[in-house]
Homo-oligomer: A and B are copies of this chain.
Amino acid sequence: MELFREQGYERTTASEIAARAEVTERTFFRYFPDKREVLFEEDPRLQPALEAAIAEAPEALSPLEVMRLALGSIEKLLEENRPFTEPRLAVIAASPALWERAEAKSASLVQLLAKGLRQRGVDERLALLAARTGIAAFGHAAQSWFEDPSPGLEVRLDQAFCALRELAGRKKG
């Protein structure tokens, strides 16, 4: 992060990062499959938390309600990680290559959520639709939450899913 802030992501070589970390370049690539990944290490508790939340959600909930519940359940984790996440986002936003990787990560998350829904017996295609929609709502919520964290993520999520319901529901603008 020091190097990236000083000279930007593209202008920083893997070799420089390795040197700053006092390891060899080869060791760097043993820890990270490629250069971009240094910026995308995620909390190892995140995926299990989501999987558990989906698996343990009440039977009666609709797929989208499961998404709402699962995404709300990681608020504390995200809150904890915020100090690290925020500066990363600034670096990521400045580089197309990193933006691309970020989109891929988001898509992987969608796959994870969809898998969880399928294991609850949701039809494959519907699971994907619900997962994508859930992430769309999460993006809506997370964005406003990052700008102003005072109302919790849960509140933002409720607002997002409410907006979604309005979007989908009304037959006229």
Contacts and interface: CB of A to CB of B under 8 A. Distances in A.
Q: For the complex, would chain A's binding face be called helix, strand, loop or mixed by DSSP majority?
A: helix
A49 to B, nearest CB: 22
10 contacts: A61-B173, A62-B170, A62-B172, A100-B104, A103-B104, A126-B163, A126-B167, A133-B136, A164-B168, A168-B168
Interface in A63-105: 63-65, 99-101, 103-104
A124 to B, nearest CB: 9
Contacts of A128: 139-140, 143
Interface string A139-173: 11001100000000000000011011101111111
A111 to B, nearest CB: 11
Number of copies: 2
A125 B100 contact: no
Chain A interface bracket (under 10, 10 to 19, 20 to 34, 35 or more): 35 or more
B143 A125 contact: yes
A21 interface: no
Interface in A101-146: 101, 103-104, 106-107, 125-126, 128-130, 132-133, 135-137, 139-140, 143-144
Contacts of A107: 103
